[in-house]
Chains A and B, each alone.
Chain A
Amino acid sequence: MVSKKIRVLIAKPGLDGHDRGVITVAQGLRDAGMEVIYLGLRLTPEQIAEAAIQEDVDVIGLSCLSGGHLALFSKTIDSFRKKSHRKVIFIGGGIIPKKDIPALKASGIAETFGPGTPINKIASFIKAELEKGSDDNED
């Protein structure tokens, strides 16, 4: 079994500029052995989807603290799925009211990680999800 590094793209769609969370998560996932591409701020959903396809990632992490997460995350997922059938895990973070989580999950976000989340929880989740995925895709 080839142990390939998990590739993660982290980005902030929309105009929100709070990047402490994404930068800390990016660093933490790198320390956990993953390859992380931090795309930055002020990106459109289309730009993020395009980059994720180009970079051939396993995970796409989206962050929004301004309250625009419902529209921005779902647009990003839709934009990605329009152009790629690759199985990718979408995760989200930022300021996300609990009542919005079901809608986010319905649109394709596998899990949200809000304030107070320890980094290793995110890393463990990603690893577990990818294990599940590879079990489903029996080689």
Chain B
Amino acid sequence: MTEMEERKKEFRTTVDGIAVNRAYTPDDISENEIDASLPGEYPFTRNIMSTGYRTRLWTMRQYAGFATVEETNRRYKYLYQQGQTGFSVAFHLPTQMGYDSDHPLALPEVGRVGVAIDSLPDMEDLWAGIPLGEVSTSMTINATAPIILAMYIAAAEKQGAVQSQLMGTVQNDLLKEYVARNTYIFAPEPSMRLTTDICCYCAQNMPKWNSISISGYHMREAGATAIQEAAFTLANGIAYVQAMIDRGMEVDSFAPRFSFFFAAFNNLFEEVAKFRALRRVWAKIMKERFGAKNERSMMLKFHVQTGGCTLAEQQPLNNVVRVAIQALAAVLGSCQSLHTNSYDEALALPSEEAVQLALRTQQILAYESGVADTVDPMGGSYYLERLTNQIEAGIEKYIATIDKMGGALEAIKRGYIQREIRRSAYNHQRAVDAGEQVVVGVNKYTSDEPLDLELLEIDGSVTRKQSARLSKLKSGRDNERVRQILDKVRQVARSKENTMPVLIEAVKAYATVGEISDALRDVFGEYKEPSVL
């Protein structure tokens, strides 16, 4: 009897991913490769904590923000009412890029990809009715993270909350900006200084705050494979830890508050294996390379967002299914925090209906699927354990290569990371265009049904409103005080002092995001990336 032909000549987890066997057996894990650690036990492959979701579910944290602070505040309250358990702020591009909403470059962008924040009053109004001393807030902000964190601290103070109470994260990860996300302002060296300013300040003043969210998500979205996403993120992590040590900080004084951020794409097993491999590799790096003594320094804590670029514009309801699978992967991978995309996000920012369903996806997983009721439920699967080991090996190979180059910063300056990501991105496109990688509804099972979704729209009135707010702010404040404080910002930036205290002073004096960023530009200049194409 002839053997049935397999569907493909070769099966891989993803384009440029790992080869997949027909079946896996105990023989796929060699004696010396068996990781018998329990959840909560070094190297934490299965989970950083022994109790997992039995004691506390992951934080349901939907990334949100658009138009004005009033509209965003309303969305935040809606999300909380619908059951999310942590906040996540999306800022519009001008805030991310250090421009006020009335800057010529900002005008077409105001309020479009996030909330417009130009000044402390904006930040205060963003959180109207939300007690900052009691909630956990993640802010996706990088080049202007010191300014925005200063505003958050000041806004919380005004509400009566002290810094040491505050819970949350700032993304504060410039290395990935240069290779994937592209919201850098300054060159790598001054960026590292500002990043570590935040980390040092938080280590000393904000024990409940994660000072950085070292991110792989954006590199994955830019086209990196799962192994590249993991490896390049940990390489960046190594660079940040080293930079802190170079500033004289004891590793255990800050590492417990380093956190990470990854994507969850469609290949369920590859993603779960990736998260497990990440925990194992990072724990070993922290213990062996950096000599951490506190186990909390070795624990990789991470937020996950489901893969944005996996969502299709065509047949958008298919995205509900994609997000469900991706969220499942994140939960099976024991993430600490999760954002699920909405089905309309290939087209626009999420509508209320769509984001509600995204949240329900997490809640159904949590309460109806049973996967949260035992720690690392897929542990022991021959396939999963083999993949975990293979991904670990892949990560270590890349880290060794990057080490030889002199570290992540050097690898980025040489364009190595960018070229790797772009090659993977191009291979993926070719595979999709050739039909080798099926995207349901896009290159297979297509239909001509018209899209009929009510999409969220941002209109031009936001620009006018923000410009009006800025005029009011500038005419009502002590402008001489602002001039003086901006001089002080420049002075501190030129020195080796931590910039956070003077930035807190500056935001309280109602200096704007643009004004403070310009003061920093005066000292650091602006970075123009050499084209790697």
Contact = CB atoms under 8 A, between A and B. Distances in A.
**A and B found bound together:** yes
Interface of A: 14-20, 23-24, 26-28, 38, 40-42, 44, 66-68, 71-72, 95, 97-98, 114-116, 118-120
B455 A97 contact: yes
A71 B348 contact: no
A42 B109 CA distance: 12
B433 A19 contact: no
B173 interface: no
B425 A68 contact: no
10 contacts: A17-B177, A20-B425, A24-B429, A71-B108, A95-B346, A95-B348, A97-B347, A114-B313, A115-B313, A116-B313
Nearest to A115: B313
Contacts of A119: 429, 433
Contacts of A24: 223, 425-426, 429
A66 B96 CA distance: 13
Contacts of B107: 71
Contacts of B99: 15
Residue of A17, A40, A71 with most partner-chain B CB within 10 A: A17
Contacts of B346: 95, 115
A68 B312 contact: no
A16 B531 contact: no
Contacts of B432: 118
Interface in B429-445: 429, 432-433, 439, 442-443
B533 A26 contact: yes
B312 A15 contact: no
Contacts of B108: 14, 68, 71-72
Interface of B: 93-94, 96-97, 99, 105-109, 112-113, 177, 181-183, 221-223, 309, 312-314, 346-348, 422, 425-426, 429, 432-433, 439, 442-443, 451, 455, 458, 529, 531, 533
Given A27-B422, A66-B113, A116-B443, 8 more contacts: A14-B93, A15-B93, A23-B425, A28-B429, A98-B451, A114-B313, A115-B312, A120-B433
B313 A15 contact: no
A66 B425 contact: no
Give the top 3 A-B pairs by smallest Cβ distance, nearest first.
Answer: A17-B182, A68-B108, A67-B112
Interface of B is mostly: loop
Nearest to A67: B112
A119 B529 CA distance: 26
A48 B251 CA distance: 47
Contacts of B425: 20, 23-24
Contacts of B113: 16, 66-67
B312 A116 contact: yes
B132 to A, nearest CB: 28
Contact of A20 (B109, B183, B309): B309
Contacts of B182: 17-19, 41-42
A106 to B, nearest CB: 18
B6 to A, nearest CB: 26
Given A115-B312, A116-B312, A17 B347 contact: no
A66 B112 contact: yes
B348 A118 contact: no
A103 to B, nearest CB: 13
A71 B104 CA distance: 12
Nearest to B94: A15
B458 A67 contact: yes
Nearest to B442: A116
A27 B458 contact: no
Given A15-B105, A24-B429, A67-B113, A97 B533 contact: no
A116 B112 contact: no
Contacts of B439: 116
A36 to B, nearest CB: 9
Given A40-B531, A95-B347, A116-B442, A68 B429 contact: no
A65 B207 CA distance: 37
Contacts of A44: 105
A134 B148 CA distance: 54
A61 B481 CA distance: 46
Nearest to A22: B533
A118 B437 CA distance: 13
A38 B112 contact: no
A16 B97 CA distance: 10
A44 to B, nearest CB: 7
Contacts of A98: 451
A94 to B, nearest CB: 11
Contacts of A15: 93-94, 96-97, 99, 105-106, 109
B370 to A, nearest CB: 35
A26 to B, nearest CB: 6
Nearest to B458: A67
Contacts of A38: 531, 533
A132 B354 CA distance: 43
A40 B495 CA distance: 33
A6 B389 CA distance: 48
Nearest to B345: A95
B43 to A, nearest CB: 33
